[in-house]
Chain A
Amino acid sequence: MDRGGDTAFVDSFPSAFTCATWLSDSSLLLVGPTGSDEPGRQVAATLTAEGRAQELVVHEFDGRHWRDTPRLVIAVVSSQALYGQQDAALSIDSGRTSARLTGEIVRALAVAPDTVARELLASLDANLRNDIVSFLVSTLSSVPKSERARMSDRLFELRQALRERLPDLVNAPDRPLGACVDRIMAVDDVSFFIEGWLRSGHEGVVRLTAIAPEGSRIELLDRLARCRRSDVATFYGLPGAEPEGGLGFTCFFDMANGCSLRRSGWVFEIEDTRGSAWEILGPAVLDDPLSVRHAILSGPHLERPLDEQLMMNHIHPAIARIQQRLSARPVVKSIRTFGDPPDSPAVSIVVPLYHHIDHVEAQLAEFANDPELLAEDLVYILDSPEQAEDLYSRAGDLDPIYRVPFRVAVLEENVGFAGACNAGADLARGRLLVLLNSDVLPDRPGWLGTMRHFYDTTPNIGVLGPKLMYEDDSIQHAGMYYHRLPGSPLWVDAHYYKGMHRSLPLANVARRVPLVSGACLMISRDLYQRLGGLPAMYLQGDYEDAHFCLNLLDEGLDNWYLPDAELYHLEGQSYPAESRRPSNRYNMWLHNHLESSRIARVMSAFASSANAGTGIEPS
């Protein structure tokens, strides 16, 4: 190997390290000769410069089980520090041996990663190489975040150079073994969700291993959830029932201590009982959280009734992590005030906006005729930030026409209904909070004062909901309860008297109810914030209001329905019906998964209370 540099220095440390390569700006891989040290010793690394010593993170490859393994040490040290400072030196100490490498030495030893791969490592045993790749990958999380993407690429190069290639698996209708990975989705950097299919053939399959682009290996066979794939069955000419519970599979997996940042390069190995093995290439990784979420909820595995195992082990963990990513404390990017805000508003009306910014004008046209409303604090929260410019421009136009004072706050990114409401509550100035959907229009002025009076004079009140009507004057909401679908253990939320004319006597009685709709509700702002606001784990605006009402009931508070306040709820225009369904099923499952015992208790308390005889069967 022609390295150039000062061979005198190298001869001073003949048995320490023979080669080095930078995996990233802070990750230095040092390669030493085979058998150069006692196995099992703790290794330590220090950077000394300008008289100071800094202890470094260091990893050593454990090659105890291998003969002829080179010594591999990865030190997390900044190349800038090592090369840039005059007297900088890296010391690697593992008990019996210690090596001291100045910046110049390292510079002399450093080569490109694939040189290391080709010349030092490529001749080793295939399984040893796999182990080495795993070792390299395991250090990925030690480097600064900003360098990980580049290191991923480097690791990918190394993996490609060191990985033992297997024959490509060819799928054909006459071949009993077949497999394909159709989709790989990044839930986050450490967990993934894949979809594909596997036909195990006559011999049976003993191993399905996923190999991440950087080299991590994950055994998947025992974790797969099977589902039907009629297209694959057709391909193989298989009649009716598919073997093994279905030819298709889905799988959520966590990389334990690893991570993978590279969005292409996944490979899958399959081995049968006779020891023959093949590989298939995986597709590029989908990683936009909203697309991933949508894909997980609408994949073929969800065609049949919801499988508890599938939900618990795959769908829910994936979605929960995505929700966590998406709903970290919503950040308000900008706020503007239009008109003169009232001095001391008692009520803050928070209206989340998602796409339908045209609803603002419709609401302002109603609010402009309502003196009660003009004295309170009105806040629109935009949860589709790509419309910010458009909304601000419209608000500026509408303000001189309607003269209703209001604020517009734009969120940094889409966070969902719960996040938007919570952000609005944080901005609220009044002691009472009204959450109002953008597609709710008051029937006539006076509703706000009526609700406020009731709220302030009713002891032990949690949340208050008014009567909401469809555009044809039939009831959309008169309080809500839980209802069990026949033959199912699942609770579903339901509306009292939905579809009846607004004047139905039973719907015109103010009373306690289990739940109130988030489309319009009034609550003390302190209470709302003390309880943490609407929970963020649900998707697209569904069940968070029910969950929140359960929280209030748990506090010993009452939720009330007040028919004297009447508004129209022109619902369903935010999300088209079809796209609602996959998330609705997930939300319903999640709500039950988390709350079914609470729900049962609440409904039995209501059944035995004054509400009996309303004609509504609670279960």
Chain B
Amino acid sequence: MNGNGRPKILYVTSNHPAIRPGGLESYTLDLYQAMRTSGVFEPVLLARAGPPHTEASCYHGTSPFALVSGDPNQYLFYTNTFADHSQFDPLFGRWTSKQVLARYFRDFLIAHKPDVVHVQHTIFLGYDLLRVLRATLPDVPIVYSLHEYLPICHRDGQMVRTTNNDVCRDESPRRCHECFPSVSPQMFFMRKRFIQSHFALVDQFIAPTNYVRDRYVDWGLPPERIMVEPQGILPISNRVQNEPKRLLRNRFGYFGQLNQYKGVDVLVDAMELLGDRFDGHLWVHGANLEIQPNEFRIRVQALSDGSRDNITFAGPYDRADLGKLMAEIDWVVVPSIWWETGPIVVLEAFQYGRPVICSDIGGMSEKVDDGVNGLHFRRRDAAHLAETMLYAAETPGLWDELRSGIPVGPPRSMSDHVDILSSLYWRLLEQRQPRSELLTMELSAGG
């Protein structure tokens, strides 16, 4: 406990909205702020800095930590100050040089002495931070949120096969090797053992949906150590009021990264099929097309050159503008091909009163009821998506009907989420047993 009697919760994550505005980053910051508002715990946020801007070295010479705009409890962790990006092994999820963890992360833990540590992500930090954490603070419970399948799946944590883009439900050394022929089955086995060895130190895992929990149980996590708790969603304040009534509801919006897992190419193919005669218009809001693999990027760019009248690539967007952007479209399209653990964009669409057209799998189909508050189309089927979009645009009264089916309030509001997590933290604190390992409290010399 710290001086004011409130237990300290340290959130560890792999990026910050100030550097990269993304879903996970926003959620972690929102959670941190909501925890602070609730006043029961004192939260601290440690976010690995970047990408992008990972080349920005720290300002203070030999310390890799920087404050985020003056908040005494929010830090950026420039791990690449002492080891460059190429020294992070993405297959095993670890730095080859351990100084980042063994010295700097450890020093941070000793300086802040959290009572509970809740890890949101370890990418570019390393799974072995769990071991340093346990060794430095033996009595502190560790909570770990599973936001996607990265520990299970080397393909960006998507569990989509490289061979045919099917959803994978069945990892094994042999199958992983089939997806990545340059990595041997033995290496995949060693990767799994490595990650699980560190996961053995986690007291409580949190999965956002039952499906995610099932995948991790299949993979080998003890079922009694995973609880299901969706992400909390903040209420919005920028919803446009008194929207004008429209006769035609043929405006479509896509919000998110422009990558293959999000099914952007399926959407693009659907628009191709619909052709110039299609009355509707698609706005594509999102970024990161330039970092995608060539074939995909070229295909998508071919449509963004302005030659098509009914597609607008609007570029990256700010969450603060979401209200305005949502008001300008009727339907939100979520064509993801992977078994989404969120997706938050569905909940955001509902918050703004937009029915959703989505793939018939995963977190999407769980949150969107076909014919009630949205429409399903067959995953990766551009023709079916085109048909669905046509149906959506040309069926009078359909939009109003589906809009009225949108549930009031998200599956989990942020304030409920904070309450549930708080109970979890209290439970873990009360169950805390002293560990037998020795704790050496000497700080490393120097800054």
Contacts and interface: CB of A to CB of B under 8 A. Distances in A.
Interface in B180-205: 184-186, 188-190, 193-194, 197-198, 200
Given A401-B131, A441-B193, A472 B173 contact: yes
Given A401-B128, A401-B132, A403-B135, A471 B197 contact: no
Interface stretch (B93-101, B112-120, B275-283, B337-345): B93-101
A472 B185 contact: yes
B193 A362 contact: yes
Interface string A427-445: 0000000000001010000
A400 B102 contact: yes
Interface in B100-129: 101-102, 106, 128
Nearest 8 pairs of A and B residues by beta carbon: A471-B189, A570-B186, A397-B98, A365-B197, A400-B102, A471-B173, A362-B190, A365-B194
Given A368-B131, A439-B186, A441-B190, A472 B174 contact: yes
B445 to A, nearest CB: 15
Given A368-B131, A402-B131, A403-B135, A397 B186 contact: no
Given A369-B197, A472-B173, A398 B189 contact: no
B304 interface: no
A568 interface: yes
A135 B399 CA distance: 109
A394 B99 CA distance: 11
B312 interface: no
B415 interface: no
24 contacts: A361-B194, A362-B193, A362-B194, A365-B131, A365-B194, A365-B197, A366-B193, A368-B197, A369-B200, A397-B97, A397-B98, A397-B102, A400-B98, A401-B101, A401-B131, A439-B186, A441-B190, A441-B193, A471-B188, A471-B189, A570-B186, A570-B189, A571-B186, A573-B186
A272 B96 CA distance: 66
Nearest to A398: B98
Contact of B98 (A401, A441, A572, A573): A401
Interface in B119-159: 128, 131-132, 135
A107 B268 CA distance: 97
B57 interface: no
Nearest to B94: A361
B348 to A, nearest CB: 40
B26 interface: no
Interface in A194-216: none
A514 B102 CA distance: 47
B422 interface: no
A573 B194 contact: no
Interface in A383-404: 394, 397-398, 400-403
Contacts of A441: 190, 193
Contacts of A403: 135
Interface residues of B, number: 26
A398 B96 CA distance: 9
B172 interface: yes
Contacts of B193: 362, 365-366, 441, 568
A472 B172 CA distance: 8
Interface in A549-590: 568, 570-573
State the main secondary structure of chain B at its contact with A.
helix
A365 B191 CA distance: 11
A472 B98 CA distance: 31
Q: How large is the interface on A (under 10, 10 to 19, 20 to 34, 35 or more residues)?
A: 20 to 34
Contacts of A361: 94, 194
Nearest to B177: A471
Q: Which of B98, B132, B198 has the most chain A CB atoms closer than 10 A to its own CB?
A: B98
Contacts of B135: 400-401, 403
A362 B190 CA distance: 7
Nearest to A571: B186
Nearest to A442: B193
B197 A366 contact: yes
Interface in A463-510: 471-472
Given A368-B131, A471-B173, A401 B102 contact: yes
A471 B186 contact: yes
Contact of A568 (B128, B132, B189): B189
Interface string B4-27: 000000000000000000000000
Given A369-B200, A472-B185, A570-B189, 12 more contacts: A362-B193, A365-B131, A365-B194, A394-B96, A397-B102, A401-B101, A439-B186, A471-B189, A472-B173, A472-B174, A573-B184, A573-B186
Q: Which of B106, B186, B190, B194 has the most chain A CB atoms closer than 10 A to its own CB?
A: B190
Contacts of B128: 365, 401
A366 B190 CA distance: 10
A365 B198 contact: yes
A394 B89 CA distance: 14
B190 A397 contact: no
A570 B289 CA distance: 39
A276 B99 CA distance: 75
Contacts of A397: 97-99, 102
Interface string A362-373: 100110110000
A573 B26 CA distance: 43
A362 B188 CA distance: 12
B110 to A, nearest CB: 13
Contacts of B131: 365, 368, 401-402
A518 B293 CA distance: 46
Nearest to A393: B97
Interface string A394-428: 10011011110000000000000000000000000
Contacts of B190: 362, 441, 570
A402 B232 CA distance: 35
Contacts of A472: 172-174, 185
A267 B106 CA distance: 69
Interface in B14-69: none
Nearest to A439: B186
A436 to B, nearest CB: 15
B438 to A, nearest CB: 10
Contacts of B96: 394
Q: Which of A361, A394, A568, A572 has the most chain B CB atoms closer than 10 A to its own CB?
A: A361
B402 to A, nearest CB: 48
A571 B96 CA distance: 23
Nearest to B196: A365
Nearest to B128: A401
B192 to A, nearest CB: 9
A471 B194 contact: no
Contacts of B97: 397
A305 B353 CA distance: 79
Contacts of A394: 96
Contacts of B99: 397
A8 to B, nearest CB: 79
A233 B281 CA distance: 75
A361 B190 CA distance: 10
Contacts of B101: 401
Q: Which of B102, B172, B188, B193 has the most chain A CB atoms closer than 10 A to its own CB?
A: B193
Interface in A262-284: none
Contacts of B173: 471-472
Nearest to B191: A362
Contacts of A365: 128, 131, 193-194, 197-198
A62 B245 CA distance: 123
A222 to B, nearest CB: 50
Nearest to A394: B96
Contacts of B186: 439, 471, 570-573
Contacts of B200: 369
Nearest to A371: B436
A368 B134 CA distance: 12
A342 to B, nearest CB: 15
Interface in B353-412: none
Contacts of A362: 190, 193-194
Interface string B161-188: 0000000000011100000000011101
Interface string B190-232: 1001100110100000000000000000000000000000000
